[in-house]
Amino acid sequence: MAHDLLNSLRKAVSALFDQNLPASLASKIVSAIIVATILLSIASVVLESEAGFRAEHGLLLVNVERAATAVFSVEYLLRVWSSVDRIESRYRHPVWGRLRYIARPVAIIDLLAVLPAFLGDYDLRVLRLLRLLRMLKLTRHSEAFAMIWAVFRKEATTVGAVLLVMAMFTVASGTVMYMLENEAQPKVFSSIPMAMWWSIITITTVGYGDMIPLTAAGKAFGAIVAVFGIGTVALFSGVLTASFMEQLRLRREEARQAISIGLRSGRLTPRQVEEIDRIGEQLGLGESEVEDLIENMLSRKIRPDDCPHCGGDLTAPHRHIVRRSRDTRRD
């Protein structure tokens, strides 16, 4: 009896954190609490660097850090404990499944979020850095971050090739600029690594102005590097933009396929409505926009919308079940 109760509790906890499941009211509340704690913790780290604020509100900052550490510690332990009940089958083993979950990048970020509490009076700069890493926890609670991460995973080879070209050109252009400017400016272009700093700033079109070529050859070569930098940045951003639009297209297609599967049987089940709503949330679509998408597909599938026998609206049952399913989930 106690074992069954514990399993039921663990499954309920897993449902709060598993983003592969449709979001419930409870999971949204838990997510909102964690996000608010992250933002509060980051604000305390930033304000702590102000000597005056730290002197006046030191106790408040300490209490905020303790509260944030407590929340993140409980969250981490609950995620690890309930990971065996996630949808993914690779986490089902009570030992190896949890170890696989702990080794996930997002789980490592969760661990780093609570690590400052166990380092005591370690180097303050290291503690601040670890506490600021809590910002990465926000990626779990944002569909936009999830889509960006999917873009980087899909275009990893292309992005890597662009970065490799930039790295090679940085070394080559830095070497050439060192040869052209070292004699005229021995203190500014004192070494190839220093010249590479100029190259990076020029390629990225930042142009700090702390290192400027003075010779005619140096200026001519600098113009070539600047033009190449514009093209490289445009290529990099173009690849990411195209991939991002492709991800949007694929996810919209997922929504259409989910709707289409429901329409084949003549109606949408509550579970299919939940799946459609989940995809709609990933795309940033509101409930009315999802309903419009369903009705647009219905109008393409069934023409006209009025039943030829009774004159009734054929789209009404689908709209009714969509709204009834949402009302049931809210209750």
DSSP state letters, 118-165: GS-S--HHHHHHHHHGGGGGGGGG-HHHHHHHHHHHHTHHHHHHHHHH
- Mean pLDDT by runs of 10 across the 331 residues of the chain is 79 83 81 88 84 86 87 90 85 87 85 75 62 72 70 78 86 92 90 91 82 91 89 80 78 68 59 64 59 61 43 46 48 49
pLDDT at 104: 87
Domain 2-141 sits in CATH at 1.20.120.350
* Residue range(s) occupied by CATH 1.20.120.350 in the chain: 2-141
The tokens for 96 are: 């190896």
* Residue range(s) occupied by CATH 1.10.287.70 in the chain: 156-245
DSSP state letters, 168-230: HHHHHHHHHHHHHHTTT-TTTS-SHHHHHHHHHHHHTT---SSS---SHHHHHHHHHHHHHHH
Q: Domain 156-245: state its class.
A: mainly alpha
CB atoms closer than 10 angstroms to residue 84: 19
Q: Name the DSSP letter for residue 83.
A: G
Q: Which of 107, 105, 89 is nearest to 97 (CA)?
A: 89
pTM of the model: 0.60
CA gap 135, 139 in Å, rounded: 8
pLDDT at 144: 67
CA dihedral defined by 180, 181, 186, 191, rounded to 10 degrees? -70
pLDDT at 112: 81
Q: Is residue 165 packed enough to be buried (19+ CB in 10 Å), middle (13-18) or exposed (0-12)? A: middle
CA gap 117, 257 in Å, rounded: 47
The one-letter amino acid code at 219 reads K
Peptide bond into 304 cis (omega under 30): yes
